[in-house]
Structure formats: C-alpha cells, structure tokens
Structure 1
Amino acid sequence: MERVLIIEDEKQIARFIELELKYEGYDVDIAYDGRNGLDKFHHANYDLILLDIMLPGVNGMEVCRRIRKESDIPIIMVSAKDEIMDRVQGLEMGAHDYLTKPFAIEELLARIRRLLKWCDNKHNKSEESNELSAKELKLNWQTYEVLLDDSKIDLTNKEFELLKLLLENKNIVLGRDKILNEVWGYDYFGETNVVDVYIRYLRSKIDDVAEDKYIHTVRGVGYVIKE
C-alpha cells in the first residue's frame, strides 16, 4: 500500500483529501504545519507528499527545500497561489507538480497516479554508467555534479534534470512536449515557454563559457546536444 503525507493547515481540505485517498487504497498521514510535516517525514517512509505553500511555522517552499536535500520523494504542491512565478519557484525548489486550488479531486488523483508511476519507472530504469558526457561536458547523475573542462558548473534541480535528459538523448532532437513530460514528470498546464526559459539558463552557464556550443535549437522542432 502506497503511503501519502498531506501537509495542509486547512483541516477540512486535509480531511477531505485524506478520505478520498483512503477510498482509493492509499495509507495517509496528515500534518497541519510545516514543522510537524518535516517531523513526520523524518520518522516514517512515504511514497508521495502533498504540500501546501501557505503553512504556519515553516512555509511550504522551505519544507520542500529541506526535504529535497535528503530525498527525491515525489512532491505535489497544492496552493491557492497561481502566478507563474509561484509555480516556477515551487518546481525549482524540487516539487514535481503544482496544483492550484480549488481543484477537482479527480484531477489530483490522476496526477498522483501518474507521478507515482513515472517515479517508479524512473527508479527502475537501469543505468549502464553514472556519467553522461559530450565533448568536455560531463554529468554524474549519482554525485549530482556537472563539469565543463574539469571546472564545476552549479545547476539548479531542474537545470540538472534538463541537461541530463539532453545528454541521455545526445544527437536526438527533443520537442518541448517531450522535455516537459520527462523533466517535470506530468502534463504541464502552465506557461509553455518554461522549456525555453530553462534552456536559456543552461546556455548562460554552459555555452556562454565554453569554447564549443553544446545546446542547439532546431527551429520548429526542439533542442538537441550535438557531438
């Protein structure tokens, strides 16, 4: 039985989600503030976390940041804040998904099933090597390090995942929909230019300092790392 931790300060919402998840066969725990949520996370094993942003004590963004330092557990942020920068910040902190209140419970259940399946497939995927590379660019997915000409490149979580995907598909052009699905792990409902934004972030840290250009745009199709 898959176990879900709900970190939500609105007790009626938390209780409603709990009942629906239990009906679907999940084991559920609830925390009503950030500190209690972190405490439960540290003292039990969960398969997924539903995390509100506006929490007393420690807010959801900080809770997500602390959890992500220790674990790659799937996190779905649930919030009434629907601005694009709120979604970007939540995803950048390490959340896999971001759902805006109010929402249909059927949509939440669908996203939970999809995310759990995606993460399970990702974890079960066999890897031949810890390192991916293209010319002088090297990425170690186990130590979470990226080197360019033996100099370390500091990347955020999503930048790292995007670069990893491009290197895994070296010389193969990836469309935006493919990148959104693989990096964010769900059907993205926000601004479609988020891929272009993160490509620019990567280029500023890699192509702008490298002798060779690594990330190429194929107009009307997508992006590719060529070697």
Structure 2
Amino acid sequence: MDSQEEAAGALLRGLRRNGHLATSVGTGEKALAAHGAVDLVLLDLDLPDLDGLEVCRRMRAAGDVPIITVTARGTELDRVLGLRAGSDDYVVKPYGFPELLARIEAVMRRAAPHRRAPAERPTVSHGPLLMDGDTRESLLDGRRVELTPKEFDLLYLLVSQSGGTVSRRELMRRVWGDEWSRRGRTIDTHVSSLRNKLGSRGWIVTVRGVGFRLGQP
C-alpha cells in the first residue's frame, strides 16, 4: 500500500468514526462514474488518469453535488482554478481532520436549501411506511429510517405515486434533475440501498425495461 492509499484509508476511517458513510475510488474515471450516488465529494486533484480540475468541471456540469477539493496544490492560483472549476471549498494538505469535518458540515449546510426538494410537501404513506415531505422524516413501523437526501427523494416519489410505476427517465428528472444522464447505475445503487434500509427487496419492485414501483413486502 503506497502513501496515497494509506492516507485515503485513514481518511475513510475518520469519516466513518464520525458517522459518515464513506467510500473511496482511485481514478478520475471511477469518480465520475460514482459521484451521482453520493451527497458530497472530496476530490484530490492529483489523479493517475485525468486532470483533477477537468474531473471537477465535469462533475459540476453534470449536477449540483457539493465538492470539496483536498489537495497538496496550495498556491493562490491553484485555489482560484479549483474554485472556478466548480469546487465549493478548497482544503490544502496537510490539514487538520477537525477542520475538514467542519468544512464538510459547512458545505452541506449551504448546499441543503438548494438540493432539498420543495418544502411543505404532504405526508405520504404506504402500509407501515410514513414519509413527512416537510420535515423529511421517514418512519417504518414507528421507527426512524435514516435516508440520504437522494434516497428520501426517490422513495418519496415512489410512495406519492400510489403504487404506480415511475420510469427511470422520470426518476432521473425529478430526483437528479437530469433525465438524460448517462450515470446508469445511479438509480440502481440508490434502490439497492433503500431495500437494505427498509429490510426487504419487496419494498421496491423493478419493472423490467420501464422503471420501479412500490411493492407489498
């Protein structure tokens, strides 16, 4: 394991100890393929395959996921280029882990009003599942289910359709704001996570060639 892998592993362990669901990829191409399924990206500009600034630009062009650049490039010009490429914040190595956590929290607070679905949506339910569209709280048999913002939006949309089938294109448009996205695994990743959190694959039924609908677990 080289020093970059060791640093990535230490960062992942620190994030997980502080309650974050975190994963790591080693190339720009993998980052571009995976970023649609996460709530925040920590992006190192020194990548083995692509220019980090170009990766940042492509992520920003594809959507509004918050991006914090974490890099050894620390000149004023580097910072300017990183922010102009689409980064929401810029952290120079070496950094203190408490500072990074604080910056993550700050970026997520700023991003929340823009990424959150419209307020004052009605409470919807499906069997023992109750979803409050205003507070964005999900309860299953009276127990809170912890969902990411995108997971909540996806499940809320399915529940609000009263069991009807929602196409993949409609899900991408309503949840991600991009019906023509090429991130084909994004929806499947979120559906798989929701099934695990709800405790049964039967909660979300795949309608082959069309999309998804709620089931009767």
TM-score w.r.t. the length of structure 2 is: 0.51
Equivalent position SS for 2:68 = strand
For the residues of structure 1 that align with 2:76 and 2:86, how far apart are their CA atoms?
A: 16
Query: Contact 1:65–1:94 at 8 Å: present in 2 too?
Result: yes
For the residues of structure 2 that align with 1:125 and 1:84, how far apart are their CA atoms?
A: 36
Alignment deviations for residues 2-31 of structure 1 (CA, whole Å, 9 cap, x no partner): xxxxxxx91111111100110111111101
What does residue 34 of structure 2 align with? 40
Equivalent position SS for 1:31 = coil
Match of 2:60 among 64, 68, 87: 68
Alignment deviations for residues 38-72 of structure 1 (CA, whole Å, 9 cap, x no partner): 12225xx1100000011110121111111111111
What's the CA shift for 1:126?
6.8
Following superposition of structure 1 onto structure 2, how do residues 1-227 of structure 1 map, counting pairs within 5 Å? 10-42=4-36, 45-124=37-116
Equivalent position SS for 1:11 = helix
Quickly say closer, same or farther: Cα 1:69–1:83, change in 2 above 3 A.
same
For the residues of structure 2 that align with 1:81 and 1:19, how far apart are their CA atoms?
A: 24
Query: Contact 2:64–2:115 at 8 Å: present in 1 too?
Result: no
- List, as ranges, runs of 4+ consecutive aligned residues in structure 1 with deviation greater than 4 Å: 124-127
What's the CA shift for 1:117?
1.2
What does residue 205 of structure 1 align with? none
Structure 2 residue runs without a partner (length 5+): 120-217
Structure 1 residue runs without a partner (length 5+): 1-8, 128-227
Q: Which amino acid aligns with 1:37?
A: A
* Structure (1 or 2) with the greater helix fraction: 2
Q: Percent identity?
A: 35
Query: Contact 1:51–1:76 at 8 Å: present in 2 too?
Result: yes
For the residues of structure 1 that align with 2:23 and 2:93, how far apart are their CA atoms?
A: 20
Query: Contact 1:82–1:100 at 8 Å: present in 2 too?
Result: yes
Query: Contact 2:72–2:93 at 8 Å: present in 1 too?
Result: yes
What's the CA shift for 1:35?
1.3
Query: Contact 1:52–1:78 at 8 Å: present in 2 too?
Result: yes
Give the count of matched residue pairs.
117
What's the CA shift for 1:121?
2.8
What does residue 157 of structure 2 align with? none
Quickly say closer, same or farther: Cα 1:125–1:100, change in 2 above 3 A.
same
Q: Which amino acid aligns with 1:48?
A: L
Alignment deviations for residues 139-172 of structure 1 (CA, whole Å, 9 cap, x no partner): xxxxxxxxxxxxxxxxxxxxxxxxxxxxxxxxxx
Equivalent position SS for 2:91 = strand
TM-score w.r.t. the length of structure 1 is: 0.49
